[in-house]
Chains A and B, each alone.
Chain A
């Protein structure tokens, strides 16, 4: 089967719908993940010091946390609906691998969050301080563990391990749960994603508190909140940089095409420089392979090689090397992978026919060919290897926006912490404005991070095995278009509701103290 046989418009609409749902869902999730821990820290200070101001601080941020949670909860369920309706081939193909982590996530989220949430919100003055605090910590741990299972499932799609493909059922079967859970991609993805969520939440707390200081209202709450947020944010942003660095090395190993796209590296080189800032002119194409890629760029010598391998002299393959192969560096070309992929697809078909005809010898031969070439199964859907390149400028700009903002946040946390500890924050109005305006940029960093991960791995839905185009269900394109716009409307209404309710709560706070 060739890609021309697929309804590419249906594929695009299904992708757009999934992207819309996931991007909106991800507007709510990081704030829940991070604020839950910030709340737990604030309540711990209250329990340790016994000072009433910390109780009021905790309760205020808990209200904003609840608003975000209430609006965001269940928006992720729609993604699961989409798997069953729009992505049925994919859902079948990934089988138990995806099902198990999602089932654990569902059970864990339900029991941990729903039980301890109630204690956290209704339990003030009804349960002991210690029990209430324990519940707040368990909500934080529970919501983060829920994220773990989703991210493990996502990591498997980027780096499929611990499974065996059953050619009789066309399903991947889990053979090693621990290999899936502790794959280096899963570990890095989880740590980097949650640390970035903590950073975003810390920026949120910092920004809202900065607004109070600018308005000279609730200053006691604002100053204390800023100290907690900037300390937590600084630690987590450093951790985020470390896990991001580790993630980049991981991407280099398992998704070299994504890595090359993140850096806009078309032609591989030793001592590869890192493009710190760059603007594309034109991207090379099969018709014009030698075009000038960059209108302008600032490079840091050797840094890309070092970042990828901890050795500044290593050869880093570019997009051209991956497509055309590079014997000197042992890189199999996409042309060869396509040939092997086609052999695998044909062998799977032959295996099925031989099985039906009860021809064991033919089935065995087909199975052997299939297993030899299965590694490149997904490539067989393509004729043109250039279709296997993601949107390089989009991935490059998303990656650099994310990294640039991440670095900026480290600086913001450092400065607010220094000024906060010295008691100078209320006078540093420029710093307060920066902290306030950092909020939308923290959301932007989250979304661009998602775009790097998901657009960067295109065309794969399961790396090397299943391209996005073969994952979609053969359904009516119009229904996908209708639901795309319906989701757009519903999610926009939810987002507006969240912003309005939050702003109202922020504006009407009166008991935040002034000293």
Chain B
């Protein structure tokens, strides 16, 4: 079991180490994920119904009110 874990670890470790274009791509991926999750999601995209209401009942009442007012 330890052997297998070691094998898998080195598979990824060597793979990442031997990357050339991949390093720049990983950098782009990480920056992009940071912008998406740490900036966009946190500051610009709160879940409207989850943040404004506590229960599903309140959420459904609100949506029904919106749809029928």
Known contacts A66-B22, A122-B12, A505-B21: A74-B66 contact under CB 8 Å: no
Binds B, one of A164-172, A208-216, A454-462: A164-172
The answer to whether A89 and B67 touch across the interface, beta carbons within 8 angstroms, is yes
B14 and A71 form a contact (CB under 8 A): no
Interface centre among A86, A169, A348, A505, by most chain B C-beta atoms within 10 angstroms, is A169
Residues 97-132 of A contacting B (Cβ, < 8 Å): 118, 121-123, 126
- Distance (whole angstroms) from the CB of A16 to the closest CB of chain B: 15
Among A465-491, those with CB < 8 Å from B are 470, 473-475, 479, 482-483, 486, 490
Residue A91 lies at the interface, judged by CB distance under 8 Å to chain B: yes
Instruction: Identify which of A76-84, A191-199, A230-238, A401-409 touches chain B.
Output: A76-84
Indicate whether B24 reaches chain A with its CB closer than 8 angstroms. Answer: yes
> Which residues of A are found within 8 Å of B69, using beta-carbon distances?
1, 5
Given contacts A67-B21, A501-B21, contact A89 B44 (CB under 8 A): no
A78 and B15 form a contact (CB under 8 A): no
**What 0/1 readout, one digit per residue, does chain A (482-515) give for beta carbons within 8 Å of chain B?**
1100100010001001000100010000000000
Number of interface residues, chain B, beta carbon within 8 A = 35
Within 8 A of A (CB), among B26-50: 26, 28-29, 32-33, 35-36, 40-41, 44-50
- Least Cβ–Cβ distance between B54 and chain A, in angstroms: 15
Contacts of B18 in A (CB 8 A): 122
Q: Is the CB of A70 within 8 A of B36?
A: no
Q: Which of A1, A82, A118 contacts B68 (CB 8 A)?
A: A1
Q: Closest Cβ of chain A: how far from B21's Cβ, in Å?
A: 6
CB contacts under 8 Å to B, within A26-84, are 63, 66-67, 70-71, 73-74, 77-78, 81-82, 84
Chain A hits for B24, CB < 8 A? 501
Docked CA distance A479–B46 (Å)? 12
Q: How far is the CA of A132 from the CA of B24 in the complex (A)?
A: 24
Q: A70-B25, A126-B11 are in contact. Are A171 and B60 (CB under 8 A)?
A: yes
Selected contact of B21 from candidates A63, A74, A78, A168, CB within 8 Å: A63
CB neighbours (8 Å) of A168 from chain B are 60
Q: Are A486 and B49 in contact (CB under 8 A)?
A: no
Which B residues touch A494, using CB under 8 A?
A: 28, 32
Taking the nearest CB of chain B, how far is it from the CB of A184, in angstroms? Answer: 29
Q: Is A352 an interface residue (CB 8 A)?
A: yes
A15 contacts chain B at the CB level, 8 A cutoff: no
Please name all residues of chain A whose beta carbon is closer than 8 Å to the beta carbon of B44 when the two chains form the complex: 85, 479, 482-483, 486
Residues of B within 8 A of A74 (CB): 29, 32-33, 36
Q: Apart from A84-B45, A126-B14, list 16 A-B contacts with CB within 8 A.
A: A1-B67, A1-B68, A71-B25, A88-B48, A89-B66, A89-B67, A92-B59, A118-B15, A122-B15, A126-B11, A170-B64, A170-B67, A345-B68, A349-B64, A486-B44, A494-B28
Could you name 27 residue pairs across A and B whose Cβ atoms are closer than 8 Å? A63-B21, A66-B21, A67-B25, A71-B28, A74-B33, A81-B41, A81-B45, A84-B49, A85-B46, A86-B48, A89-B63, A89-B66, A91-B49, A118-B12, A122-B15, A126-B11, A126-B14, A169-B60, A170-B64, A345-B67, A352-B64, A352-B68, A470-B66, A490-B35, A501-B24, A501-B25, A505-B21
Residues of A within 8 A of B (CB): 1, 5, 63, 66-67, 70-71, 73-74, 77-78, 81-82, 84-86, 88-89, 91-93, 118, 121-123, 126, 168-171, 345-346, 348-349, 352, 470, 473-475, 479, 482-483, 486, 490, 494, 497, 501, 505
Q: Top 9 nearest A-B pairs by Cβ distance?
A: A122-B15, A88-B48, A81-B45, A70-B25, A84-B47, A349-B68, A169-B60, A473-B48, A85-B45
